[in-house]
């Protein structure tokens, strides 16, 4: 199903899938949405919110729905007790979606003007836009909304710059930090935010998201359940698994990792598949699943009481995360990265 793309392209944009800023439907998270609407109506909306949970479950969509709500109802006392549903035909919706509303600042990974690729971090220059944004008077005396998405991607300088803004927040301003892993942020940032934890989507809600954006889901009930489990309640993960070869990539990686001896030919085939030209999404899927395998194995070892193995796997996860970041930052050879990652996982799992 095609639709009119309004939002600027992001580092993780998927074809024919609405960006959070242009998504009129929020599926799931009803209790938290109502809590936020009630807090706004009562004049008790925190100046900084941290929406935490796995990637792809709707955190950023909720952030933009809250922004839409406070802009549509500048007098909080007259606002409804549930979040307003954005009207795609309205000027407000289109302005917010296009990144053109003067009261909404959306900060994410910027484009590298030299390479024409998105940077791997939210830079300090992006966060510095907050100062200029807040120095301007709100056009109608209403709220101003700063959305950092995802805040996990801020580098150290960016995080410190944001902290200064959070320490002395202006009136009628709300910062919304979209966060996949709260532990990755400075404790001083976390302490200045109200943390709201969003749960992974239930199977029914996950399939509803897929249907809403015209993405096919399995006809068989058992296959739908299996997809929901493998996707971890993430709509984005489900789309990547079903539409971008993610299931095949995951199965191939798991087979290689579980083998007693490295299958060199199969490793090269998988590396070539995910590292080819215009294969950014399969490459990201490969990396994400590699990290998931390490994380799951570390957790299982810890639960079983094998703390030494858990520590080793955790260290390997850190090394793998660093390698992914360096490959993106310095545009290193992706096939060699994939082969090294497969070897790293194979060695780690045999311990």
Per-position DSSP letters for 116-168, written without gaps between them: TEE-SSB-HHHHTHHHHHHHSPPTTS--EEEEETTGGGB-HHHHHHHHHHHHS
Same domain, 284 and 149: no
Helix (H, G, I), strand (E, B) or coil at 175: strand
Per-residue pLDDT at 1 exceeds 60: no
Residue 232 within a domain? no
User: Residue 46 in contact with residue 192, Cβ under 8 Å?
Assistant: no
Q: How many separate domains does the chain show?
A: 2
Residue 322 within a domain? yes
Question: Per residue in 2-60, pLDDT tens?
Answer: 578 999 999 999 988 999 999 999 999 999 999 999 999 999 999 999 999 999 999 99
Establish whether the linkage from the previous residue to 150 is cis, with ω within 30° of 0: yes
Residue 9 within a domain? no
Range of the domain at 114: 20-197
pLDDT level of residue 230 (50, 70, 90 thresholds) = confident
Residue 252 within a domain? yes
Question: Per residue in 173-226, pLDDT tens?
Answer: 999 999 998 888 999 999 999 999 999 999 999 999 999 988 888 889 998 998
pTM: 0.86
């Amino acid at each position: 199903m095609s639709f009119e793309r309004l939002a600027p392209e992001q580092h993780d944009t998927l074809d024919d899938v609405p960006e959070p800023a242009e998504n009129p439907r929020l599926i799931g998270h009803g209790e938290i949405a109502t809590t936020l609407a009630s807090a706004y109506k009562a004049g008790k909306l925190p100046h900084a919110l941290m929406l935490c949970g796995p990637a792809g479950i709707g955190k950023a969509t909720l952030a933009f729905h809250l922004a839409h709500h406070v802009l549509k109802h500048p007098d909080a006392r007259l606002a409804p007790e549930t979040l307003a549903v954005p009207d795609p035909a309205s000027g407000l919706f289109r302005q917010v979606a296009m990144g053109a509303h003067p009261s909404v600042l959306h900060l994410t990974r910027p484009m590298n003007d030299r390479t024409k690729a998105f940077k791997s971090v939210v830079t300090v220059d992006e966060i510095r836009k907050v100062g200029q944004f807040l120095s301007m008077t709100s056009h109608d005396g209403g709220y101003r909304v700063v959305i950092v998405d995802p805040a996990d991607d801020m580098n150290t300088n960016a995080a410190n710059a944001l902290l200064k803004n959070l320490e002395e927040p202006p009136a009628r301003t709300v910062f919304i930090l979209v966060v996949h892993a709260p532990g990755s942020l400075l404790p001083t940032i976390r302490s200045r935010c109200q943390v709201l934890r969003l749960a992974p989507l239930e199977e029914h809600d996950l399939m509803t998201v897929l249907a809403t954006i015209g993405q096919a889901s399995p006809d068989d009930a058992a296959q739908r359940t299996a997809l929901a489990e493998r996707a971890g309640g993430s709509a984005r993960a489900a789309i990547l698994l079903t539409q971008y070869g993610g299931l095949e990539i995951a199965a191939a990686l798991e087979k290689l990792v579980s083998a007693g001896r490295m299958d060199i030919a199969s490793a090269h085939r998988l590396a070539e598949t995910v590292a080819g030209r215009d294969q950014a999404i399969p490459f990201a899927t490969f990396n994400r699943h590699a990290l998931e395998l390490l994380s799951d194995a570390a957790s299982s070892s810890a639960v079983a009481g094998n703390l030494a193995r858990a520590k080793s796997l955790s260290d390997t996860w850190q090394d793998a995360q660093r390698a992914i970041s360096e490959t993106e930052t310095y545009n290193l050879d992706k096939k060699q990265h994939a082969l090294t990652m497969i070897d790293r996982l194979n060695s780690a799992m045999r311990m």
